[in-house]
Every structure is written in C-alpha cells, then in structure tokens.
Structure 1
C-alpha cells in the first residue's frame, strides 16, 4: 500500500467530506498561484521516491548547466544560437549572464508506473508558484490531514523561504543585510500580476527582504544605483522572460538594468542566461545519443530515467531507439506519440499534441517548424490519481512541478486536469492545483 492508498482508505472510512476541505481552503488561496481553488487532498511521496527524484533533478541540473563547456568549448553565445535564440536574445543573454548558472527553477513532470518523466524544465526567476506553501498550511488546518501527516512522518518544503535563501546566496547579499528588491515585469504584463505580486511581497517581508513590485520601466539608473522612486534597489527580481526581449523597444527598456548589472551596481535574480538552460533546445541536446560520451555514468543514468526522447526539428536523419531515420518521415508516421514544442516559449504557448491533431494539420505545422527553433518530444502517458468527492472519487491527471533551489529540492506545485489523455495544463487555462507532503 502506498501513502496515497492509505490516505484514500482512511478518508473513505472516517475523513471529512471533500467539500469541507475545499470550502475551508479556498478563502486562503485568493490572490495566490492557486487563484482561489484547489483539489480535495494533498499528494504524497514516500521517502525513497523523494530521494530518487531529488538526486535525479540534481544530476539533470548538472548536465544542463555544463552543456556550454561540454559541447561548445564554453561559448555561451554559440550555445544560445544552437538552442534557437535570436541575435537580439543572444546579446541580452551574454550581457546579462551571471557568474554561475542559477539554481532557481522548476521541473514539470508527468508520473507513470516507472516514475517521473520530464515535460520541461524552467530555470530562472520567472517560474511561478513559489507561494505554494500557503496550501500546505491550509490543508494542515484540517485535523484529519494533520493527523495523517504526523502519523506518517511527513513534511513539506517552505518554498518561499528556500527561494529567499537562494536570492541571498546568488545575489551575494552580505549576512545581516536586509536587501531592497524590485520585483520587475514588463509594463504590458505587470497589471495582470500586480495584486498577486503585492501579496508575495507581503510574504517576503518577514523572511528578510523588502520587496517592491513594479514595471521594469519604473526603474532608473543614476548615481551608480538602480532606483525605484526614492528607494535604492539592491536586487532586481526578473519576472520578464526571454521572449519579452523581442518586443519593440524591449532592449532599450532593459538597458538601465543591464548596464547596472554589468558594472556591479545591482544584482539580477535571475540573470538572463538562466533561460538558456531551461530551453527545450537544451533538452534536445541532452537527449541526443551523439553526445552520450560527454556525460559521467551517474548523469547518464538519471537522464535515461527522467528525460523522454527529444530532438530539434531539423531536416535529415535522427537517431530513434538506436536507429537512424528521417525525422520528418518518423514524425509523420508516429504523430500520436509525439508533441511539437517551441524551444523558448512558456506557459504551453505553441505546443501541439500529435494525438489531438489530424494528420494534415500535423504535417503542415511540422513543415513550418522544420529547421526553426522547435523540438519534437516523445509522448508520456501518465497514470491519473484518485481524489475524493462528496459522494465518491474522481480521477485527475497531475503535472508535478518540483522546485530547484540553492539547497536542492524546494517543494512542489502540482496542477491537475480532468483531460486524462494529456494536454497543456496551467492555472491560467483552468487547471486546479494541490500541494505535496513527503516522507522524511
């Protein structure tokens, strides 16, 4: 019996109604990642499963962040071009790079009978959901859930706390200093996030950071400092994404922050080079058999467990299960087992699921993507999980988001969908999320 099986059996016998859990938790989730809604129970991970996932994600991070040195002789710009960045983006990345790759990120995964498999990994400060412990806390207010967690020696990471530690470490904030941090997004997207960002800023205050949400064009560079009004800024928390750099006037908009960063007058969390390692093009390089001799045995074993077959959409031959085949022919013949994804967009934008697309549309989109910054990835078939309802149970397909932080694995954002054949799952398009407790 798994922890989940034990919980479901206990809930059916003596647990609270699902509706009671939901109605009590929902008011605490307003203006959070959860958008005022959640699933009817937490998820659970046994100690060995958690340990293996944590180790595999560490090895994945190591393999990703060493790609420039292992494949490109340390040339970050060439790595950026190879994974599909434009010259404008390459320029911003090389100017805004950090002294070392950031540890901040979130790996989004499906889980089947054999374990976790990566859909994508987003590295950098743009990952959402770091306010997720608010739901762990809400769930623990139910005596039934609190008793189950205690009886099984379960815990959860305080993701926001771990993110603060990561910021202070990577921005090199001296011990004992309370930094002032601007949470900066592009002017066109800032208004939609403003309310949530102010709530996040309130959560950061007791953790030792004065956080000030703002559009990035509100920041000024003068007197060797970045300023927001009359407040000198120590850290710029970057919410804008690499695709934002392509907007008209974007480079000019970012120039004050990039200049200040280059001169050591402000720290950017996270630097723009983080976007490279989170590119789906980087996953295609990791997946390519041609480079297997570049990785140590432990990294290869982790990649084989967690990373599905992924390739850049390039004309010509490609290796599939040890055989050389024409990529276009393979993709057309195996449409229902493949996903087509842009290399550097976020939030599921542009993703095409072969099994939900007719052959003609698939062929057309494949040809548009050919020799452009797109990847093909093999379909993962996750096993749905069971959640209580007031009068029975129902199945949800879960996307497991595992946070990477300076200290290792820093908690989970888990989104659910009732489209059990898979699909793009995010909160903005109607997903419903939950939290996770794991065994010590």
Structure 2
C-alpha cells in the first residue's frame, strides 16, 4: 500500500472529518499563499519517490543553466533572443545577470503511474508559495496528523528557511551580518500584495533578514548605496517579472537598481537572467533532439523521463518520436494532445489547451503564434488522487510545485483542482492549496 492508501484508511477509521480539519486549519491561512483555504489532507511521497525527484530536479537545473555555454558558446544575449525575449528584455537581462545561475525556482509537475512529468519550471525570486509550511505546521497541531506522520517517519521542509539560506549564499552576505532586504514589486501590482508581503517580511525577521516591502520605484541610488527613504538596502528581492520589462517606463524605473548591481553596490535576488532558465523556450531547447549530443547520459535520462515533447512554434519540420514532420500539420492533426504556451508569461496567462478548444480557434491561434515566442508542448495525463469528504470521497487533480534552493529540494506547494480534464487553474483562479509530507532516504 502507498502512503496515501495508509492515510485514507487511518483517516476513515480514526481521523477527524474533512470539515473539522478545514475548520481548525483554514483560519490560520489568512494572508498566505493559501488565501484562507486548503485541501483536506496533505500529499505524500515515500523515500524512493523523494530521492528520485531530488536527483532529477538537480540534473534538470544543471541542463537548463548550461544551455548558454552548450548551445550558444556562452552568449547570454543570443540565448535570450532564442527563447523569445525582446531586445529591451535581452539588454536588461544581460546587464542584470548574476555571477552564476541562481538555484532558486519551482518546478510544477503532474504525476502519473510512471512518476513525475514537468509542466514548467519557474526560476527566480518571483516564484510564489514559499510560505507553504504554514499549512504543514497547522496540520501537525491536530493529534491525528502528528501521530500519523510520526508513525510513518514523515517530515516536511521549512521552505522559507531554505530560501533565506539561498539568499544569504547567493547574495554573498558575510557570516554574522544581518542584511536589510527590500522586497520590491512593480507599482501597479504592489498594492494587491502589500498585506501578504508584510506578513512574509515578519516571518523573515527571526531568520536573520530585516525585510521591507516596497514598490520598486521607491528605491533610489546615491552615495554608492541603494536606499528606501533613509534606510540603506543590502539586497533587493525581485518580485517584478520579465514581462514587466515591456511596460512603458520600466527600464528607466529599474535603472537605479541595475546600475547599483552592475557596480557591486547591491545584490539582486534573483538576478534577471534567472528568468531565462524558466522560459518555456528553454524547455524547447532541452527537448530538441538536435542538441542531444550536448548533454551527459545522466541528464539525458532525466530529460527523457520527466520532460514532455516541447518545441518553439516555427514553420518547418520538427522531430516527433524520431520522425520528421511539418510542425503545423502535426499540431493540427494532434490538437487534442497539445498545449500552446507563451514562452515567458506566468500564472497560466495565454495558455491554450488543444483538447478544450475548437479546431478553428486552435488553427488561428497556432498561426498567430508561428514565428513568435510561443511553444507547443505535449499533454500530460496525470492520475487523480482521492480525497475524503464528510460523506464519502472525491477525486482531485494535483499540481506539485517542488522548490529548488541552494541546498537541493526545498519543499512543496500542492495545488488541487476538481477539473480532472487538466484545465489551467492557479491559486488566484480557483485552485485549492495543499502541502506535502515525505519520507527521507
């Protein structure tokens, strides 16, 4: 039996009702990633699953972050253009690059009977959900969960603590120094996040960082320091995204921070080049058979196991299952097994699911995407999981968000949907959040 089977049996026999669980837990989730609601149980991973996923994501990160050197002879600008960035975005990324690719990210995955498969990987400080352990801790306050996790040797990762270690490591903060960090978002989106950001900032204080949320245009650069009012800033935690660079006046707004970072007067966490490795265009490069000779055997094995077929939307022939075929003809004939995605947008924006789209709309959107920064990706068929209700049970489709941090795998954010057809659902558009407990090897 799996851990999930063991849990369901135990919960039916001696556990609190799902409504009682939510009543005890959900009030503690206000102003968090979970938006005050949660799934009625955690997800579970046994030791073998956890170990394999840790290794797979480590090798995936290695393959992604070596794309510039392996495919573009180290030319970061050429890499940026190849994955669909504009010249404005490319210039900012090259200026704002870090000394080494960041480890900070979140891989979003579906799970079927063979294991995990990658939907996308979001790299950089803009990934959401790092406050997810608030749900683990809330569940462990219930005796049933505490007993079950102890019996099965289950644990969880304090994601926020791992993120702090990653910040201190990658920003090269000297040991014993307590940095001041501006959590900087764009002025138009900052008001919606302000309350949650202040709550996150308060969580960082006991971990050794004085965090101050702000809109990025409140930061100034003078006397070789970045300032928020009269407070000197050591680290700028970047919440603004690559698509924000296309907004009018953005480059000018970011100029103080970019100048300071170029001169070594402030650290940006994460540098803008992190966004490149989270582009769906990067996954298309990894998936392309033309570059298979650039990867060692262990990385190829991981790509074959977890990365679905992905290609930039370009006119001409592509390789599909070892055969050459015209991309448009293949996309039209296999519409119900394909997804059309923009390379650099976030949160499911612009995603078109072939199996939920009429043929005329699919063909029109495909033609509009041709030669532009879009990818086609093969559909994944995840296996739904069983969740108890007060009256029986129901099936939920889970998206597993696995965090990458400096120390390896940094915890999980689970998002559940009752749409078993695999629609695009995020926390802000109807998904219900959950957490994960796992066994360590």
TM class, shorter-chain normalised? over 0.9
Q: Which residue does 1:398 correspond to in 2?
A: 398
Q: 1:54-73: per-residue Cα shift (whole Å, max 9, x none)?
A: 00000000000000000000
- Mapping of 1:268-417 within 5 angstroms? 268-417=268-417
- Mapping of 1:408-427 within 5 angstroms? 408-427=408-427
Q: 1:204-229: per-residue Cα shift (whole Å, max 9, x none)?
A: 00000000000000001011000001
Distance 2:235 2:277 in 1: 22
Distance 2:211 2:423 in 1: 35
Q: Which residue does 1:261 correspond to in 2?
A: 261
Distance 1:88 1:23 in 2: 49
Q: Which residue does 2:188 correspond to in 1?
A: 188
Q: 1:75-103: per-residue Cα shift (whole Å, max 9, x none)?
A: 00000000000000000000000000000
Q: What is the number of residues matched between the two proteins?
A: 440
Q: Which residue does 2:207 correspond to in 1?
A: 207
Instruction: Name the SS for the 1:155 alignment partner.
Output: coil
Q: Once the 2 structures are TM-superposed, how far is the Cα of residue 230 of structure 1 from its aligned partner?
A: 1.0
Distance 2:425 2:104 in 1: 21
Q: Which residue does 1:428 correspond to in 2?
A: 428
Distance 2:24 2:167 in 1: 33
Distance 2:27 2:228 in 1: 33
Q: Which residue does 2:18 correspond to in 1?
A: 18
Unpaired stretches in structure 2, ≥5 consecutive residues: none
Distance 1:102 1:392 in 2: 45
Q: Does structure 2 retain, via aligned residues, the 8 Å contact 1:184–1:237?
A: yes
Q: Which residue does 2:61 correspond to in 1?
A: 61
Q: Which residue does 1:133 correspond to in 2?
A: 133
Query: What CA RMSD, in Å, does the superposition of the two structures yield over aligned residues?
Result: 0.4
Instruction: Name the SS for the 2:254 alignment partner.
Output: helix
Distance 2:430 2:213 in 1: 26
Q: TM-score, normalised by structure 2?
A: 1.00
Q: Which residue does 1:40 correspond to in 2?
A: 40
Q: Does structure 2 retain, via aligned residues, the 8 Å contact 1:3–1:46?
A: yes
Q: Once the 2 structures are TM-superposed, how far is the Cα of residue 425 of structure 1 from its aligned partner?
A: 1.9
Instruction: Name the SS for the 2:149 alignment partner.
Output: helix
Q: Does structure 2 retain, via aligned residues, the 8 Å contact 1:399–1:425?
A: no
Distance 1:55 1:74 in 2: 26
Distance 1:167 1:155 in 2: 24
Q: Does structure 2 retain, via aligned residues, the 8 Å contact 1:110–1:382?
A: yes
Distance 1:423 1:298 in 2: 32
Q: Which residue does 1:108 correspond to in 2?
A: 108
Q: Which residue does 1:75 correspond to in 2?
A: 75
Instruction: Name the SS for the 1:32 alignment partner.
Output: coil
Distance 1:391 1:364 in 2: 45
Q: Once the 2 structures are TM-superposed, how far is the Cα of residue 261 of structure 1 from its aligned partner?
A: 0.3
Distance 1:184 1:166 in 2: 18
Q: Which residue does 1:51 correspond to in 2?
A: 51
Distance 2:27 2:223 in 1: 45
Distance 2:392 2:87 in 1: 55
383-392 or 168-177: bigger deviation: 383-392
Distance 2:388 2:178 in 1: 44
Instruction: Name the SS for the 1:276 alignment partner.
Output: helix
Q: Which residue does 1:94 correspond to in 2?
A: 94
Q: Once the 2 structures are TM-superposed, how far is the Cα of residue 423 of structure 1 from its aligned partner?
A: 1.3
Distance 1:418 1:27 in 2: 22
Instruction: Name the SS for the 1:201 alignment partner.
Output: helix
Q: Which residue does 2:227 correspond to in 1?
A: 227
Q: Which residue does 1:217 correspond to in 2?
A: 217
Instruction: Name the SS for the 1:119 alignment partner.
Output: strand
Q: 1:253-302: per-residue Cα shift (whole Å, max 9, x none)?
A: 00000000000000000000000000000000000011101000000001
Unpaired stretches in structure 1, ≥5 consecutive residues: none
Q: 1:154-195: per-residue Cα shift (whole Å, max 9, x none)?
A: 110000000000000000000000000000000000000000
Q: 1:33-75: per-residue Cα shift (whole Å, max 9, x none)?
A: 0000000001110000000000000000000000000000000
Q: Once the 2 structures are TM-superposed, how far is the Cα of residue 317 of structure 1 from its aligned partner?
A: 0.1
Q: TM-score, normalised by structure 1?
A: 1.00
Distance 2:324 2:434 in 1: 42
Instruction: Name the SS for the 1:302 alignment partner.
Output: helix
